[in-house]
Amino acid sequence: MTSRLLTVAFALAALVFLALVAQPVGAAGQLVVGMTLVAAMLLIWPLARKGAGRLLFVALALGVVGRYVYWRSTSTLPDPSDLVDFIPGVLLYGVEMFSVLMLFVSLFVIADPKERAEIRVDDDADLPTVDVFVPSYNESADLLATTLAAAVAMDYPAEKLRVYLLDDGGTDQKCQSDDPVTAHAARARRTELRELCRDLGVTYLTREKNVSAKAGNMNAALPRTTGDLVAVFDADHAPVRSFLRLTVGHFLEDPRLFLVQTPHFFLNPDPIEKNLSLFKSMPSENEMFYGVIQKGLDRWNSAFFCGSAALLRRAALEDAGGFDGVTITEDCETALTLHARGWNSRYIDTPLIAGLQPETFSSFIGQRSRWCRGMMQILILKNPLFRAGLSLAQRVCYLSSSLFWLFSITRMTFVVAPLLHIFFSLEIYEANLQEFIAYTCVYMLANMMLQNYLFGRVRWPWMSELYEYVQSVYLTRAIVSVVLNPRRPTFNVTAKGLTLDREQLSEFALPYFAIFGLLLVAAGVAGLRWWMEPASRDLLAVVGLWNGLNLLIAGLALGVVSERAERRRNQRLDISRKGVLTLAGTPFPVLVEDVSSGGARVRPLGQRPQMARVGGSIGSLSIQSGETAAITTLNVAVRRNVHDERGLSLGASSSNCRPPSTGSSPT
């Protein structure tokens, strides 16, 4: 889609908006107009996903939004002479208009998502040299072994590939700490990880002091390495064998390219997916960002570095003085700097790593708080709106990515607003029931249809509301802390690979129960007042319905903070590959159904192994990824057997303490 077509599309949307806004219709007329537009959207929906049909659908939705904005701005604000109602009314109106602004900005960002063709380089002589950085702070050796082994096993000429473990948990500063416990742990970690790196053919690097967190760690490694490109993988992000083959070609095509970012794919559910048992049925939360938004950003040359699963050009990093570390989101900050210096980025929508998400709700909130505070730092300290060197589209895109995190303010405002009328009879939203249905309900319906049309493949309806709500309770405080002191936030590593022995309430659960209780009481008060105050029933019905929706989401959040047990230490990846299980010198053909760094589940094909005692059968498991791929052989111990509708399956754990370096990776 050309820029001219995009301009025409936005002009069409503007004309529809102005024409609808100019119509002086009452509630009944608005209901007819709004439902006509919604009906037209329903007709277009199954017929058009791209091109002019997509733009027409968006234009119709914006017509409904525009009519609501006009009515909301001219007919619903309280009388300015009554400051008790007017001040909170204007604050609520401002938050709503901010939400509408963010809708328009997001539509601009994803107007035409970029689909990139695959680029492969067949001649190894043309390939650049690559340094792989795996930054680490407190991750276990077992977790690091999986990622390092996968990085070493990537399909790339050995003479052009070097893998480095950047250990910030074994720095001189830590090893020489005045605290004997800290010093002992750091020295033991350094010794253990040096041995691990020696076994896997990886170079171990550490530094003198822990300065500037992850950005400082990688900057310390840059002058000690020489590769043309730098691949970055988090400690829990194991790359597939083809990672470099599918990314380096882009750098040969564009000499001003500084970044190729790939999506983050996760083996385990986040706490919301796990605690609500939705992991296998619901699209993952990150799919909306990596499946739609990053491709939209890529259209405007604004796809940004996400901290891992990426390849960067060393010359660009040196041009910018290394990785930026002013904020605690060094990845996006670095991309902003390089875009402003005229470098380009690309996004490839192909999952090429397998990683881990936070297992507990507290670690999930900790991770999102860091992202939120970092993006607020960028907004305040390095505001892209005033950053020289960026195009107008890039400014809008970076503003969108930063302002997005203000959702916690809007979400908590929408929770509190109906309570002001229910408990204190404040009239901050002047509308009767007919107007609420004609304007607000039709607007919400069109907005939900638009969101589902654009993101339905990667996000269930209303799930964004739940994700935003559970984060907002704590992120609001994080935003305030950054506003008060933008340079105060520090980088905290997100804990991964945690286990829970039993079901329990999260340590962060109390505010969610308190809010649910408050909303439940409000629902009862609203019902009582509706019964006893006939003159106020219209407005009470409106705020009662509003509070009821908040109550529903708050109720779901109680399930989110009720932690399910997580005893599995090694997350498994479902596969279907043939292999050979050898026990007591006898080979048995098997189907490997899942694998992890700790073992595999296999299903015998044909003859079944005869085992006197499960757990006492030691042997080996050989797996071949493809017809020409190397064979991975693991020493295993059969720990259990399970009978299901498909027959017998065996649970085999690896008897090696570390994944073998065999030229192949399970992922």
Mean pLDDT of 630-659: 68
Higher-confidence residue: 77 or 460?
A: 77
pLDDT, residue 6, reads 61
Which pLDDT value is given to residue 52? Answer: 76
**What average pLDDT score do residues 257-273 get?**
93
Averaged pLDDT, 560-574: 71
Distance CA 16, CA 310 (A): 42
Which pLDDT tens digit goes with each residue over 497-523?
555 567 889 999 999 999 999 999 999
Confidence at residue 658, expressed as pLDDT on a 0 to 100 scale? 43
Answer yes or no: is pLDDT of 572 > 80: no
Q: Which of 113-122, 427-436, 591-600 is the least confident region?
A: 591-600
Q: Where are the alpha helices (DSSP H) in 456-485?
A: 463-484
CA pair distance 626, 392, nearest whole angstrom:
47
- For the stretch 152-208, pLDDT in tens is 999 999 999 999 999 999 999 999 999 999 999 999 999 999 999 999 999 999 999
User: What does the pLDDT average to over 52-70?
Assistant: 87
Q: What is the pTM of this model?
A: 0.84
In this prediction, residue 568 carries a pLDDT of 56
Q: What is the mean pLDDT of residues 12-21?
A: 63
Query: Is residue 49's pLDDT more than 50?
Result: yes
Segment 7-24 mean pLDDT: 64
Enter the tokens of residue 4.
Answer: 């001219």
Active-site residue list:
168, 331
Domains along the chain? 124-357 (3.90.550.10), 573-654 (2.40.10.220)
pLDDT of residue 482: 94
pLDDT at 455: 87
Read off the pLDDT of each residue in 374-385 and give the average, rounded to a whole number: 95
Instruction: Express each pLDDT in 228-246 by its tens digit.
Output: 999 999 999 999 999 999 9
Residues sharing a CB contact under 8 Å with residue 496, sequence separation 6 or more, in sequence order: 139, 143, 235, 236, 356, 357, 358, 359, 363
pLDDT at 314 over 70: yes
**What rounded mean pLDDT belongs to the chain?**
87
pLDDT at 91 over 90: yes
Average pLDDT over residues 14-21: 62
DSSP labels, 595-647: EETTEEEEEE-SSPP--SSTT-EEEEEEEESSSSSPEEEEEEEEEEEEEETTE
Given the structure tokens 């027959």, which residue do they identify? Answer: 647
Look at residue 549 and tell me whether its pLDDT is greater than 80. Answer: yes
pLDDT confidence bin for 16, thresholds 50/70/90:
low
Query: What is the per-residue pLDDT for 122?
Result: 78
The DSSP line for 242-284 is TTTTTTHHHHHH-TTEEEEE----BSS--HHHHHTT-TTTS--
pLDDT in tens, 346-372: 999 999 998 888 889 999 999 999 999
Which is nearest to 303 in space by CA: 340, 339, 350?
A: 339
Rounded distance between C-alpha atoms, residue 140 and residue 453, angstroms = 43
